[in-house]
A and B are shown apart, each in its own frame.
Chain A
Amino acid sequence: MLAYLIRRILATIPVVLMVALFVFSLLYIAPGDPAAIIAGDQASPEDVERIRASLGLDRPFLVRFFEWLWQVMHGDLGTSIFTNLPVSHMIAQRIEPTVSLMTLTLILSLSIAIPMGVIAAWKHGTWIDRVVMMVAVFGYSTPVFVVGYLLAYLFALQLDWLPVQGFTSITEGLIPFLRNLILPAVALGLIYMALLARITRATMLDVLSQDYVRTAKAKGVEQKGILFVHALKNAAVPIITIVGIGFATLIGGAVVTESVFAIPGLGRLTVDAILRRDYPVIQGVVLLFSFTYVVVNLGVDLLYTVFDPRIRY
């Protein structure tokens, strides 16, 4: 196991390097010019050119890439072109809202979607199953921003229960923290819940038709025990796989959700950086996201061994 872990961690290095090269190349060939944005609309072409030179954007691709890579290898993600702040500082400012949003979304999604899927499988073919699937189809097909606006309109503007926007750190209290995050988490979690509920249902249906489940029933094991102890544990591997894969969906959704609810997280930082062509910030955030994704998938692989002892590394 330890050897496997070390192998997997080492394997993340070329993956992250490839991502870094890909992103850097993409940004290099993509049109757009931060110097023009900095100079402003009324600036002269000469001023734009001088700003470009002062930012080092006129240097060759390879020089810029290896310089950046050298910095990254020394733990320095560079400095934002626009804010003049270290990229690591900007990421540190933004990481708590995003982690909070994603954690709450995951908790909500898992605690709602898995029971929904289990119940739908248990009541297969009944109206309960159909309602659960209808909700899942609705959740999967409705864009995050539509759900976000509808929730904000209803719960903030009409009912005046919750704020429209913003983020409050959990250090300022659980209630203010939840007040700000509950609507974004529901909006972001809907698609994730739908995905998980459908997979849970399908996997559970498969497991519930297995011989050992019939045997358990014959032995008089109560329904709850069959569903949550015997069946769900055996259905866990595909569900965990979807949790891992769905993490990328969650990252993509967070970008939109953070914009709609004005949450100062990494998603908004990414959008702002892309719109302004703030290359060091884009590179830093994408590197972080790709590293996180690799780590999450490593965690998923390790979880397999917990739920299925037959799996060994």
Chain B
Amino acid sequence: MRRRDFLRTTAGAAGILAAPRISRAADSKVLRFVPQANLANLDPIWTTQYVVRNASALMWDTLYGVNDQLVPQPQMVEAHETSADGKTWTFRLRTGLKFHDNAPVLSKDVVASINRWMVRDSSMGVGIKRNLDALEAVDDRTFRFRFKAPYPKLLFALGKSSTPVLFIMPERIAATDPFKQISEYIGSGPMTFKKDEWVPGSAATFERFAGYEPREEKASWLAGGKRINFDRIEWKILPDAATASGALQNNEVDWLETPLPDLIPLLKKSPGISVDISDDLGNIGVFRMNHLYPPFNDERARRAVQIALNQADYMRAVVGDDEALWKLLPGFFTPGTALYTEQGGDYLKGPRKYDEAKKLLAEAGYKNEPIILLVATDVSITKAQGDVTADLLQKIGMNVQYTALDWGTVGQRRASKEPPDKGGWNIFHTWSAGADCINPAPYTGLDASGPTAWFGWPKSDKVQAKIAEWFAATDLATEKTVIGDLNQAAMDDVVYIPTGFFKGYQAWRKNVTGIVKAPFPVFWDVSKT
């Protein structure tokens, strides 16, 4: 081949390669979405991972669903009645409900789904099960709860967005052991799951289910008419944040659920891309101490850290200098929600008290023993919090042992009740979605029941009493009073220390409209031109 022929051929080939692609993915009836994480399975009861909950919300419908005011609204249910003593709740399903195999949704499916969910939902389901006399299918469209004692928060339990969500599955699938994964994906929601196109770690595809009948009401979060404007929603798993941003800029995907904060300035400058806060309920940073062993089995040692901890340091480390993204949080509940309170939050306000902290540590008998700080260095939020904590503990004279691990290992080690020097731990960090901190029901981290509490095993009778009072409360005014006292008690006993409130961004191409702020991606009413 002559040199000129070779160059001509090469240039021609390059031109063909560079030609714009015409593909099904470019269709306005296909939404290309990049989720926060890999969709490795699709059983929203077996696992409580948010990404699974988010995919499941496309596939399965719920009896009730919280709207953007966090109020549960009827979804698959047409109406309900409550007995005068508040112990019996009778529900009637709406007509036209179908599973993806076109079988009708019946009460027996609902009862089986509730039974499986109750076992795994430690925030509310387990409590409901304990309080239950009977759960029964009265007829094909009617089912009934009979409680031993009134349970006023039932509708919230049936419609909450915190994991595990009570999704309704066919009876045969819901009969699966709650600790084993389902293998058949027959949904009751607006989209079907294309199992044959599922490549875990790469792609998951959902197709519109023609048999789904949305409610008449306008959609709002998990409530209302879930109208899907796409034939297909393609989830593309792009684990590398820079690649995901590049794919959005290059029009290879339409919507990024969680773009990397560092890349937000770049995306904001990119033509054709919109960037906005993803969820006003945001997240709460968590500083979790092990209450079983010294020094943090002593309230004075926990208090020492609490009065020295500067939330601004944590928040700047987690989300940077963009002050639209974070705020101080002298409380446990999500800012901007009905039950938010700062009662008892003075410990976290004002100048930090390092000298007083040192004094308290001495009073607690701390003698420079190593403090095992578990830091998941592969997760930016926990890594940032861990770095600030290492600095804080040194400032108050503690001998910190920074233990760098990956999240999988932290997940294992934090479950250890062994002493810190024998494979246990003293401190680890995580964060909670603000949607899970709106009240005590889904708030696992606030449970202070001791051995059965969440990792760290805090024990506070005052806190537990207030949580029980909240569950029994029947009006908002009473709830607010109780929550104020609960916040105070949890601050006094230092159940854990919130490190601040922070939000994240989402980004999408400007030809996509209808994206709303929510604790999970809401696909209904989104469209693309």
Contact = CB atoms under 8 A, between A and B. Distances in A.
B201 interface: yes
Contacts of A48: 415
A34 B47 CA distance: 11
A167 to B, nearest CB: 8
A67 interface: no
A82 B41 contact: yes
Interface string B209-233: 0000000000000000000000000
Contact of B238 (A165, A269, A276): A165
B415 A161 contact: no
B95 interface: no
Given A42-B444, A262-B243, A31 B412 contact: yes
A93 B198 CA distance: 9
Interface in A7-36: 31-34, 36
A179 B247 contact: no
Given A46-B452, A262-B239, A276 B412 contact: no
A123 B38 CA distance: 51
A209 to B, nearest CB: 31
Contacts of A31: 405, 408-409, 412-413
B239 A164 contact: no
A92 B50 CA distance: 28
A44 B413 CA distance: 14
B146 to A, nearest CB: 26
B477 interface: no
Contacts of B18: 159-162
A39 interface: yes
B177 A54 contact: yes
A157 B38 contact: no
Given A44-B122, A175-B17, A37 B48 contact: no
A48 B454 CA distance: 11
Contacts of B238: 165, 262
Given A44-B122, A164-B252, A262-B247, A272 B452 contact: no
A277 interface: yes
Nearest to B19: A175
Interface string A42-72: 1111111111011000000000000000000
B183 A84 contact: yes
A258 B21 CA distance: 21
A264 B203 contact: yes
Interface string A159-189: 1111111100000000110110010000000
A104 to B, nearest CB: 13
Interface string B451-472: 0101100000000000000000
Contacts of A162: 17-18
A197 interface: no
Interface residues of B, number: 61
Contacts of A160: 18, 250
A299 interface: no
Interface in B1-47: 14, 16-19, 21, 38, 40-41, 46-47
A268 B409 contact: no
Nearest to A164: B246
B270 to A, nearest CB: 9
Contact of B243 (A41, A44, A152, A182): A152
A243 B365 CA distance: 64
B115 interface: no
B141 interface: no
A137 interface: no
Nearest to A155: B18
A49 B122 CA distance: 14
Grouping DSSP codes into helix (H, G, I), strand (E, B) and loop, the A interface class, with mixed when no group exceeds half, is helix
Contacts of B50: 40
B200 A83 contact: yes
B199 A93 contact: yes
A182 B14 CA distance: 11
B47 A276 contact: no
Given A84-B183, A262-B247, A37 B408 contact: yes
A39 B50 CA distance: 11
Interface in A248-286: 259-262, 264, 268-269, 271-272, 275-278
A276 B412 CA distance: 12
Contact of A47 (B120, B177, B236, B413): B120
Interface residues of A, number: 61
Nearest to A159: B18
A153 B250 CA distance: 10
A84 B444 contact: no
Nearest to B447: A44
A54 B47 CA distance: 13
A157 B249 contact: yes
A90 B163 CA distance: 28
Contacts of A153: 246
B432 interface: yes
A84 B41 contact: yes
A272 B188 CA distance: 30
B406 interface: yes
Contact of B202 (A36, A176, A268): A268
Given A42-B454, A262-B238, A163 B444 contact: no
Interface in A105-147: none
Interface in B387-419: 405-409, 411-415
A269 B240 contact: no
A84 B41 CA distance: 7
A43 B16 CA distance: 52
B109 interface: no
A221 interface: no
A83 B21 contact: no
A17 B184 CA distance: 35
A306 interface: no
A88 to B, nearest CB: 14
B285 to A, nearest CB: 13
B405 A54 contact: no
Question: Counting chain A CB atoms within 10 Å of each CB, which of B21, B243, B249, B250 scores highest?
Answer: B243
A245 interface: no
Contacts of B40: 82-83, 272, 276, 278
A47 B180 CA distance: 12
A293 interface: no
Contacts of A32: 406, 408-409, 411-412
Given A44-B452, A275-B406, A50 B179 contact: yes
B339 to A, nearest CB: 19
A163 B201 contact: no
A39 B203 CA distance: 22
B243 A36 contact: no
> Which 7 A-B pairs give the minimum distances between C-beta atoms?
A40-B48, A36-B411, A264-B202, A33-B412, A161-B18, A32-B408, A164-B246
13 contacts: A37-B407, A44-B122, A44-B454, A83-B40, A163-B21, A164-B247, A164-B249, A165-B252, A176-B21, A179-B21, A182-B17, A262-B240, A277-B408
Interface of A: 31-34, 36-51, 53-54, 80, 82-85, 90, 93-94, 149, 152-153, 156-157, 159-166, 175-176, 178-179, 182, 259-262, 264, 268-269, 271-272, 275-278
